Structure 1
Amino acid sequence: MSEPITVVLLDDHPLVMEGLNNRLNREPGIQVLKTFNDPVLFLSEIEKLEPDVVVMDIRMPQLDGFEVTKRLKEQYGLSVKIILLSGYNYHEFQLKAYDLGVHSYLSKQATYGQIINAIHQSMLGHVLVSEKMLSANLEESLTPTEREVLNRIAMEMTNKEIAQDLNISPRTVEYHITSITQKFGVKSRIGAVVKGYQAGILGDIILPPKN
């Protein structure tokens, strides 16, 4: 029988902590070693506990989850997997968390099943990124002109029509389309439009009426 995944919980909300602790300890293959509500105490004891995974809140007194993550990564690197729980779904917070090396950034509204899956996936070395964040990154990868071109492709405009509408040359339109398809990882105009709708990039921008 394989060893259970050992977990430490860090959260200053007693009800959240107790509920998650009880649920994880009922999950086969997972063992909660200890719970903490004080990040300073947690950091002083983490070395002797040697957990596989740390599940913690972002907003805590004295040290927030970002600072705790930074210190854990500096000391233990990849040997400790980190899952952050947050009531904040700001894109900037998610980027910061993944830049620091977390394996998952979950909303506090996440189900126990989603947290359990994140724990198992982190042990496989997988980094879980939300579809919303992927969509945001995809949109941010496009230049303003590329977004304009993509919207006109979705309106079934030809390259010549797009060129006239944006007052650029047809060759420049072709360059933009090539760039869009490369960034989206697709091979055609249709693929770019499909990807654009899937990511939520298309459908929100209303083009001005033609004169």
Structure 2
Amino acid sequence: MKILIVDDDPLVRQSLKLLLEKESDIEVSGLAADGQEAIDQCEKMRPDVVLMDIRMPNMDGIESTKQLKQQWQKLQIMMLTTFKDEQNIRLAIKAGAEGYLLKSTPVENMAQQIRALMAGSSVLDADVLQQIMEPDVRDNLDELTERENDIAAAIAQGLSNKEISEQLYLSVGTVRNTLSVILDKLELRDRTQLAIYYWKRGDN
């Protein structure tokens, strides 16, 4: 089983390589420092599994995952990160990742999870699973107008006010004012809270 390790920290890359190669059925075929390097390495190495960090320079892990899955649908991608916030989890899964593990996972368990991934299972760390299964008692998106829902969805995708204005053919001022109305209706503080709330609803 060939694995590509993608992380912007060289110490993390080398440590994971040394630890995983102790497993008789695992070969680390490449190392990459960002999402674009991951795409380049996959072109050359054609690994079975990619261990993908999320926050990296040049191209992050979520965008890289999206592009890799478009080119190689059968490639298995495991997000391996310190971040367990719900927005990153949902964005990673939406991009096509089959697994999401935290870097605190013992390497023995990591190897087992990689094997499970290759066998066709989706793999989520227990803490991660709790994050996305946690119920949300608020159910107020139904109170939003169609335009407000469109803007909330765009914010959940990480778009800026300018990008939303271009996508929805609205002025930046209208987007900004509508965002204020949305936050008031949902009793949220800022666009980050709105994005997290939107993903918790799971309506997308």
TM norm structure 2: 0.62
Seq. identity, %: 31
Distance 1:58 1:76, change over 3 A: same
Q: How does 1:107-126 map to 2 (within 5 A)?
A: 107-126=102-121
Q: Max radius of gyration: which structure? A: 1
State how far apart, in whole Å, the 2-side matches of 1:109 and 1:139 are.
Answer: 21
Q: CA offsets, 1:149-194, max 9 Å, x none? A: xxxxxxxxxxxxxxxxxxxxxxxxxxxxxxxxxxxxxxxxxxxxxx
Q: How does 1:20-169 map to 2 (within 5 A)?
A: 20-77=16-73, 79-140=74-135
The residue aligned with 1:169 is none
Q: Does 1:12 align with 2:13?
A: no
Aligned length: 139
Contact 2:35 2:64 survives alignment (8 Å): yes
Distance 1:23 1:94, change over 3 A: same
The residue aligned with 1:179 is none
Contact 1:83 1:118 survives alignment (8 Å): no
How large is the Cα RMSD of the aligned pairs? 1.9
Instruction: Point out where structure 2 has 5 or more consecutive residues left out of the alignment.
Output: 140-204
1:127 Cα shift?
A: 0.3
State how far apart, in whole Å, the 1-side matches of 2:21 and 2:11 are.
Answer: 16
Contact 1:53 1:83 survives alignment (8 Å): yes
State how far apart, in whole Å, the 2-side matches of 1:38 and 1:96 are.
Answer: 18
Q: CA offsets, 1:61-91, max 9 Å, x none? A: 11000000000111111x1100111111101
Dislocated runs of 4+, deviation >4 Å:
141-144
1:17 Cα shift?
A: 0.7
Higher relative contact order (CA 8 A, sep 6+): 2
1:139 Cα shift?
A: 3.8
State how far apart, in whole Å, the 2-side matches of 1:137 and 1:43 are.
Answer: 28
Instruction: Point out where structure 1 has 5 or more consecutive residues left out of the alignment.
Output: 145-211
Q: CA offsets, 1:3-53, max 9 Å, x none? A: xx1111111111111111011111111111111214323312312211100
1:142 Cα shift?
A: 6.3
Distance 1:33 1:134, change over 3 A: closer
